[in-house]
Amino acid sequence: MTTGISPTSNRAERTPPTGVALWWKNNRKGIISPLFGIGGFLLFWQLSASLGLTKLAGPLSLFTEERTRDLLFYPFFDRGGLDKGLFLHAMSSLSRVALGYLLAAIVGIAVGIAVGLNKALDRAFDPLFQFLRMVAPLAWVPIALVLFQNNQPAAIFVIFITSIWPILINTAEGVRQIPQDYRNVAQVLQMSNKSFFTKVLIPSALPYIFTGLRISIGLAWLAIIAAEIVMPGTPGIGFFIWDAYQNSYVSDIVLGVIWIGAIGLILDRLMTWLQKRISGNH
């Protein structure tokens, strides 16, 4: 509030808030409630740790433990081998996810379209897809290791096989759900297959494909941690957590989990944004 120097101050008081004030007014509720929720949760956690109710380190340990504090404030160091900052660990994990996910997207969309267009194929493979999609990421790890005999490709395979199903199934559904109207238009205009594919099929199925992609990115990120935890020896955030556990660095584990959650959230938001951008016209 302005101090009453100018005679117009009374009027100024009545003018609607602008800038930061306006933003605060509009977003107040969206900020205060989560703050209370998260603050309360952290407080409870810290109290239960401080009072010795659990062996789990409290959130303050991130700052009180010197080793963890270093990891928290210096995510970019690289002392060679597996001794890296958390950012670099995260990047290795992400690059593995990116590769597996990309493969899943390519194969998933292609097979999804084929299955969506061809009823015979659909009937032949749908039960198999429905079955495989229920297999948990961890269960794939030994199979992947047997298949590839090598940690790196095996980890990528686990990402791939975990994240392909939502993409495939949603794409197929998207193609199946192309309205008869659009098909009629294509028929009446005697569109070539190529035209139909690029001008009707893809744009029409796009919202479904993106729904699949968004569900898959979460699954892929879940899978990488599982894959890295059981495939030690490669840098990655999963390895970091497992390593910290082996050394009983509990506060490091907490820090690692926070990184995982944060990255997962960012990935999901990114896909949501992309989905809105690309399929906004539907």
| Contact call for residues 241 and 253 (beta carbons, < 8 A) | yes
Per DSSP, what are the bridge partners of residue 78? 84
What's the Rg (C-alpha) of the chain?
25
Q: Which of 69, 133, 176, 199 lies at the binding interface for other proteins (CB under 8 A)?
A: 199
Asked if 195 is part of the footprint of other proteins (rule: CB under 8 A), the reply reads yes
Distance of CA 69 to the CA centre of its chain: 26
Asked if 203 is part of the footprint of other proteins (rule: CB under 8 A), the reply reads yes
Distance CA 193, CA 200 (A): 10
Angle between helices 250-278 and 202-230 (to 10 degrees): 170
Asked if 181 is part of the footprint of other proteins (rule: CB under 8 A), the reply reads yes
Asked if 191 is part of the footprint of other proteins (rule: CB under 8 A), the reply reads yes
Asked if 275 is part of the footprint of other proteins (rule: CB under 8 A), the reply reads no
| Contact call for residues 140 and 147 (beta carbons, < 8 A) | no
40-48, 61-69, 140-148, 175-183 -> range binding other proteins (CB under 8 A):
175-183
Asked if 188 is part of the footprint of other proteins (rule: CB under 8 A), the reply reads yes
Distance CA 113, CA 123 (A): 14
Distance CA 278, CA 255 (A): 35
Q: Which of 50, 152, 177, 184 lies at the binding interface for other proteins (CB under 8 A)?
A: 184
DSSP for 258-281, please give it.
Answer: HHHHHHHHHHHHHHHHHHHHHSTT
Q: Tokens 């907490």 map to which residue?
A: 254
2-10, 28-36, 69-77, 177-185 -> range binding other proteins (CB under 8 A):
177-185
Asked if 87 is part of the footprint of other proteins (rule: CB under 8 A), the reply reads no
Which of 162/170 has CB closer to other proteins? 170
Binding-site string for other proteins from residue 204 to residue 233, where x marks contact by CB under 8 A and - marks none = x-x---------------------------
Q: Which of 3, 149, 193, 281 lies at the binding interface for other proteins (CB under 8 A)?
A: 281
Asked if 277 is part of the footprint of other proteins (rule: CB under 8 A), the reply reads no
Distance CA 78, CA 70 (A): 13
Contacts with other proteins: how many residues (CB under 8 A)? Answer: 19
Distance CA 253, CA 247 (A): 10
160-168, 193-201, 211-219, 244-252 -> range binding other proteins (CB under 8 A):
193-201
4-12, 81-89, 192-200, 218-226 -> range binding other proteins (CB under 8 A):
192-200
Asked if 200 is part of the footprint of other proteins (rule: CB under 8 A), the reply reads yes
Locate 152 and state its tokens. 């790196």
Q: Tokens 């699949």 map to which residue?
A: 212
Using CB under 8 A, list all residues that contact other proteins: 179, 181-182, 184-185, 187-192, 195, 199-200, 203-204, 206, 281-282
